[in-house]
Structure 1
Amino acid sequence: MAETLSSNAMNYLVWRYLQEAGFGNAALQLSRCWIRDPDTLPFAKNIDPHTLIRLVQDGMCFDQLQAEASNTEPRYRFGPDHGRPFSARNGNLLTLDKGIPAYELAAESNGAVQEPPPKKSFRRKKPTKTANGAEPRPEPEANGDAMDIEQNGATHVTNSVRAESEPTVSDAESPTITEIAISTLSIGQDALIQTEVIADLTPGTVFIPRPEDFAKIVEHTSWGPLDSAVILAAGKSLLQVHAVNPTISTLDIHLPVNNFDITALCWHSGDEITVSVREQYSNEVGDKMMMDKLIKLTEGGQESHVISSTAGLINTLRWNAERNLLLSISTDGEKGSIKIWKNDSDSIPAWTEFTDTAIFDALWISDSAFVVCGIKLFKIYEVGDSLTAQRTLDTRITWETVKYDAASGIVAVLGIDEQRGYLGILHPNDSMSLQTHEHPDEYPTDLDFRVRTVANTQTNGSSVPSVLLATSSMSGAARIWDANEPFNCVKRLPTTDGTQAFKIAFSPDGSLLAAAGPDAVTIWDVERREVPVASWRAREWTSDKWNPGVDGEFSLGWDPDSSRLSIALGNQIAIITVPR
């Protein structure tokens, strides 16, 4: 008897197809609405690459054979014209313009399908500018009507939310964007002129050498604290410290584990750091086993000791310097686990708490309180003689990222519900209500508060100072909000070439704002003007230096003195100097 497909099995096949075909963002949205980690389903290990395509093609062949045997017409016919082809991420041919469907590119070139471009291993030529000074988009490539399946059976699963070939909403379907008035920020008279040159930061880029061992994969990057301005790279079988002065020197840090994957990390000081490590090993009968360990490194990584081997799979670590408390967040199935250590010599945490749903992010908001967010979860805990839930706020939204502004006491979160992005604000003036607002740009990705200084403190027309909160999105725009007036958007800032922004961050001194994705970095001085002051483009580099199409986690970070920033994708780490 033939096996029947359950909804979980069908969803999993579609989810795998979306990833293999390059529709990474659609796959992410499906998993958010269905199940957080589809690969944990019991049958997932039995599914080969491209199973959905093979299943459908087998069904088409069966229908054809059945029609021939019964002398009838096939039930499934799509006709000879399947429309203009889209680029396939894992096919032999790719469009160069990330995120723009091939049919739109072909329309721009009067429907003519162009010859394939040179291989990416060569430096791309700068496009010729048109009469109005704009650079034309790269031309499309056809990938044929038939679905290409790789013969080697390799699986391309990406952790990135980047979808290079997803169709964009047409102009006719796009919502009308109301023009935003000049903000209440003190942006100066040059904002009306906007004739200043946008600095090109690309030529001064320094690239950190990639690991020679292909088994080592960078999954996390983090700049050290002010007293140790180095960048840490961590991931699968990898933990390295890179000093950039301006030449690069690299130190491999030894861990007392083998075949490991670092799942979370946090700095304590310039020479102390805690990492969560998942180690894979085989038992005496050859079965593969996993063990999670919490390890503290001291003396600049020269010394290490295991804090705990029972902490579980940790996805977030946060250090409380005021009280020397270490907060860890784990996920056990569908539930979240909170553990707090007050002494790194104790193998058992001082406090433990569980939530009914998974936790995705957490932050200390005082020396004794922290906030956690996750699937329909927003909760504030207080650490005293015991660990207590101070506030539990009702929410239907899955909150994925949380940020806190210490000067104002405002907490901001970014989340999703039914494929819509939401921004949330918890204001101290209304501490029992989480205010929410549907984000105006599709697929919001990140948020960050600006550190308030005497120089950049402004008011919103009264005695109340503005609290600037920036958000990024995959739609090619960043926004600045005044969190003291939810939800007052004071600026909408288009990114360089309209590229997707996965991450956004204010410089530590609060003077600059950077939004970045695999294709470009855009930097604004929000006090002076709404057009960028500087930009960085990946297309100026050959793929051996920076390839925006590789799979992997994307990250953005500023060094402590705000003079450089880093971007990382896969095993690529670029250090970009920002002139002041």
Structure 2
Amino acid sequence: MAESLGSDHVNYLVFRYLQEAGHEAAAKALYNDWHRPLEFRDPEDLPFAPNVRQHELINIIQDGLFHDQLTASVTKQDRRFRLTEANVSRRASAQAAAKQIAARRRASMAQAVENDEFPTPAAKRPRRSNGEEMHINGDAMEVDSRAQEDVESGSGLAETDREKSEAEPAVEEERPPVELLSSATQTEKKIKPKTETMYWTLERPESSIYTTMWNPSLSASTRLLTVGESLCRFYDVPTSEHSGVQDITHEDAENMPSDSLITAACWHPSGQYATCVMEASRQINGSREPTHRMFDFQSGGGKQFYDLQSYLLKPNGLCLALRYDSTGSYLLSVSTNDKRGLVEVWDVKSPKGSGPCAFRIFDKPVLDAVWTSPTSFVVCGDARIEHHELSISPDASSDSNKPTIAENGAWNITPKRSFETTSKWDKIRFDPRHGHTAVNSTADERLLVLDSQNDTISPLEGFPPSDTTDVTAMAFQTTTTAAFSNGPTHLALARNTGSVNIYHLTRDRCETHSTLSLEENEPALALAWSPDGMYLAASSDESIRVWNAEHDFKPVLEWRAEPHLWRAEQINGEEGSGTEPSLGWDAEGRKLVFAIGRKVAVIRLRSEGKDVDMVDANGA
């Protein structure tokens, strides 16, 4: 005997049907009201969920009707379920006229049955909806949306029959038997929910997320680096839409002490490993002193350590930034204390333990840096914006057969250009297409776009605009796709007021393009361009919006975290006050990672192409 279906089976079948039919609000309501064990908060975690195929509820109902019809024909008894029999009227309208028509049809059909004149139903014919033939499991569905609308709305056929009834004599006109259609389960093709979200919370109460970064290699695009307080971890996120959080595996760099912190991290462009700097403390002569370790973290737990020389700053400096150049040949680190700054450069081909190939100490704090070419970079800090180049020192070897600067001998970091300033600049970004740099001062609420390719660093014409306050994040459009190889690039600025400002940048000037906004003017705290530069994502601490840059920043996606899984006031109040969210696209441009405090959400876009009308993809 077949096993009975439980409430979870039925709820899941209905839940899947509502999603497949496009009834997202109803699916969300069922999701919220469905009482199930904690281990099955995600319905996809239910043990039978992987066995449920597409349109399974419809298949079960259709099979049940077929079995009922077959049983009735064998036992010579009436069918139990008469929904689809030809002598059952379709759903009547609320209007009295439609009821009269239905009663008149039943009387006519009864007379036809009595006279043995009831016709055999006509063969099914395929109908089209939105220009396409409807299919479920290969069988054409019978759809007549016009007839359904006529009956339900009381117009069309019902109105016509009412007028005839009022104009004609009371004597019933003999009518031919009426061909009735079986009820259709779907009248138009629906699109699947636009996103699938996987949530999880760090199991370590002492940990808090600083940043998350997808592996930049397409072959390893499911690997996610997550670092922060007492945290340095690789996650492997499954690619299947039906996977749950239990399918996510992780690998820790090491058992980090509770007082440790990953202060800077980045992937090598090849995606083979990530480089991290950890600050901890150790007991020395009865007191605890900070220590710094820099290492490459590879899959399988392999680590290679660098000789980080932040002790040269006296007291030791804190590493704030790690940057690989675009070719992956050189690694740059930025360290600072309250008085001075230090920039170190490593040649990737040199042994890690041999120390940096070049370094430079600054008389004031340096807070950030960005590569402008494989051998040049711009640094910013306290009253400082300077362009530097790597150069071989005069006493270096003249052996030209040695391929790298490091192998050729000692080399220097030489200042080339500088911008006179008194502000404290803490963030810097670079536009590789036109050679501009954007620098932001959080303390002074100033932002500049500079032309750093000329002999002197100077502000770009047209920038800054009148208001550059409350800037929380900035990002130049990525340029890997041919669609954006020519013409202006875009600079996006996130504002604490909830707006996202877009600027067009050419080689000679900057122009204001448009102003976007998050829902309900929530503060925009993070930005991320997709790898092909087609899409811009911005987030508050609990919602995300995505715009299409190719189509003049048309909004294409709106996502909001589930309230019972993600509450901003809890994150900011209990799990790291003042923390900023981390937002990033994977290498394929198909997944977003969103993290803050101890909470992580991976949002997978599921539609056939991301360029769709604005949808509410509420993470369900």
**Are 1:204 and 2:196 matched, yes or no?**
yes
Per-residue deviation, 1:365: 1.1
CA change 1:531–1:450 in 2 (3 A) is same
Are the equivalent residues in 1 in contact too, given 2:251–2:301 (CA < 8 A)? Answer: no
Q: Match for residue 406 of structure 1?
A: 432
Q: Match for residue 9 of structure 1?
A: none
CA change 1:467–1:201 in 2 (3 A) is farther
Q: Match for residue 488 of structure 1?
A: 511
Task: Give the partner amino acid of 1:305.
Answer: Q
TM-score (norm 1): 0.60
Q: Match for residue 314 of structure 1?
A: 319
Q: Match for residue 234 of structure 2?
A: 241
Q: Match for residue 532 of structure 1?
A: 555
Count of equivalent residues: 376
**Are 1:354 and 2:361 matched, yes or no?**
yes
Q: Match for residue 337 of structure 2?
A: 332
Per-residue deviation, 1:293: 1.3
Alignment of 1:473-512 (within 5 A): 473-484=495-506, 486-512=509-535
Q: Match for residue 305 of structure 1?
A: 304
CA change 1:305–1:428 in 2 (3 A) is closer
Q: Aligned partners of 1:554, 1:424: CA distance in 2, in Å? A: 25
Q: Match for residue 220 of structure 2?
A: 228
Per-residue deviation, 1:277: 0.9
**Are 1:428 and 2:427 matched, yes or no?**
no
SS of equivalent to 2:479: coil
Q: Aligned partners of 1:555, 1:471: CA distance in 2, in Å? A: 16
Mind listing any 5+ residue stretches in structure 1 that lack a counterpart? Answer: 1-121, 125-198, 460-464
Are the equivalent residues in 2 in contact too, given 1:477–1:495 (CA < 8 A)? Answer: yes
Higher RCO, 1 or 2 (CA under 8 Å, sep at least 6)? 1
Alignment of 1:6-405 (within 5 A): 204-207=196-199, 209-226=200-217, 227-229=219-221, 230-246=223-239, 247=243, 248-255=247-254, 258-259=257-258, 260-268=260-268, 269-283=270-284, 285=286, 287-298=287-298, 300-308=299-307, 310-311=309-310, 312-320=317-325, 322=327, 324-342=329-347, 343-385=350-392, 386-405=412-431
Q: Match for residue 57 of structure 2?
A: none
Per-residue deviation, 1:201: 7.9
Per-residue deviation, 1:454: 5.7
Are the equivalent residues in 1 in contact too, given 2:542–2:567 (CA < 8 A)? Answer: no
Per-residue deviation, 1:473: 0.6
Q: Aligned partners of 1:494, 1:416: CA distance in 2, in Å? A: 21
SS of equivalent to 2:220: coil
Are the equivalent residues in 2 in contact too, given 1:507–1:558 (CA < 8 A)? Answer: yes
Q: Aligned partners of 1:495, 1:506: CA distance in 2, in Å? A: 16
Q: Aligned partners of 2:479, 2:308: CA distance in 1, in Å? A: 40
Q: Aligned partners of 2:428, 2:439: CA distance in 1, in Å? A: 4
Q: Match for residue 489 of structure 2?
A: 467
Structure ID, larger Rg: 2
Deviates more, 1:484-493 or 1:496-505: 484-493
Task: Give the partner amino acid of 1:401.
Answer: K
Q: Aligned partners of 2:485, 2:325: CA distance in 1, in Å? A: 29
Per-residue deviation, 1:560: 0.8
SS of equivalent to 1:346: helix
SS of equivalent to 2:416: strand
Per-residue deviation, 1:481: 0.7
Per-residue deviation, 1:401: 1.8
Q: Which has the higher helix share?
A: 2
CA change 1:549–1:296 in 2 (3 A) is closer
Per-residue deviation, 1:317: 0.8
Are the equivalent residues in 2 in contact too, given 1:293–1:310 (CA < 8 A)? Answer: no
Q: Aligned partners of 1:405, 1:123: CA distance in 2, in Å? A: 45
CA change 1:396–1:487 in 2 (3 A) is farther
Q: Match for residue 196 of structure 1?
A: none
CA change 1:519–1:433 in 2 (3 A) is same
Are the equivalent residues in 2 in contact too, given 1:499–1:519 (CA < 8 A)? Answer: no
Per-residue deviation, 1:523: 0.7
CA change 1:270–1:301 in 2 (3 A) is farther
**Are 1:449 and 2:476 matched, yes or no?**
yes
Cα deviation, 1:119-151, whole Å, max 9, x if unaligned, reads: xxx979xxxxxxxxxxxxxxxxxxxxxxxxxxx
Task: Give the partner amino acid of 2:459.
Answer: L
Per-residue deviation, 1:575: 1.0
Q: Aligned partners of 1:283, 1:563: CA distance in 2, in Å? A: 49
Q: Aligned partners of 1:504, 1:272: CA distance in 2, in Å? A: 24
SS of equivalent to 1:271: coil
Task: Give the partner amino acid of 1:290.
Answer: P
SS of equivalent to 1:383: strand
Q: Match for residue 538 of structure 2?
A: 515
Are the equivalent residues in 1 in contact too, given 2:344–2:358 (CA < 8 A)? Answer: yes
Task: Give the partner amino acid of 1:340.
Answer: V
Measured on the aligned residues, the alpha-carbon RMSD in Å equals 2.9
CA change 1:359–1:236 in 2 (3 A) is same
Q: Aligned partners of 2:282, 2:516: CA distance in 1, in Å? A: 49
Q: Aligned partners of 2:352, 2:493: CA distance in 1, in Å? A: 40
Match among 390, 403, 415 for residue 441 of structure 2: 415
Q: Aligned partners of 2:521, 2:337: CA distance in 1, in Å? A: 39
Task: Give the partner amino acid of 2:423.
Answer: I
Task: Give the partner amino acid of 2:252.
Answer: I
Q: Aligned partners of 1:524, 1:323: CA distance in 2, in Å? A: 30
Q: Match for residue 599 of structure 2?
A: 572
SS of equivalent to 2:353: coil
Cα deviation, 1:348-386, whole Å, max 9, x if unaligned, reads: 322111223222211111110011112221111101212
Per-residue deviation, 1:531: 4.7
Task: Give the partner amino acid of 2:502.
Answer: I
TM-score (norm 2): 0.56
SS of equivalent to 2:555: coil
Per-residue deviation, 1:257: 6.1
Q: Aligned partners of 2:566, 2:494: CA distance in 1, in Å? A: 26
Per-residue deviation, 1:330: 0.4
Q: Aligned partners of 2:369, 2:224: CA distance in 1, in Å? A: 22
Q: Aligned partners of 2:455, 2:596: CA distance in 1, in Å? A: 39
Are the equivalent residues in 1 in contact too, given 2:481–2:533 (CA < 8 A)? Answer: no
Deviates more, 1:314-323 or 1:476-485: 314-323
CA change 1:413–1:309 in 2 (3 A) is closer
Per-residue deviation, 1:508: 0.7
Q: Aligned partners of 1:450, 1:321: CA distance in 2, in Å? A: 15
SS of equivalent to 1:326: strand
Are the equivalent residues in 2 in contact too, given 1:443–1:475 (CA < 8 A)? Answer: yes
Q: Aligned partners of 1:200, 1:449: CA distance in 2, in Å? A: 32
Cα deviation, 1:187-217, whole Å, max 9, x if unaligned, reads: xxxxxxxxxxxx998962211x323221222
Task: Give the partner amino acid of 1:421.
Answer: R
Task: Give the partner amino acid of 1:406.
Answer: P
SS of equivalent to 2:373: coil
Cα deviation, 1:142-201, whole Å, max 9, x if unaligned, reads: xxxxxxxxxxxxxxxxxxxxxxxxxxxxxxxxxxxxxxxxxxxxxxxxxxxxxxxxx998
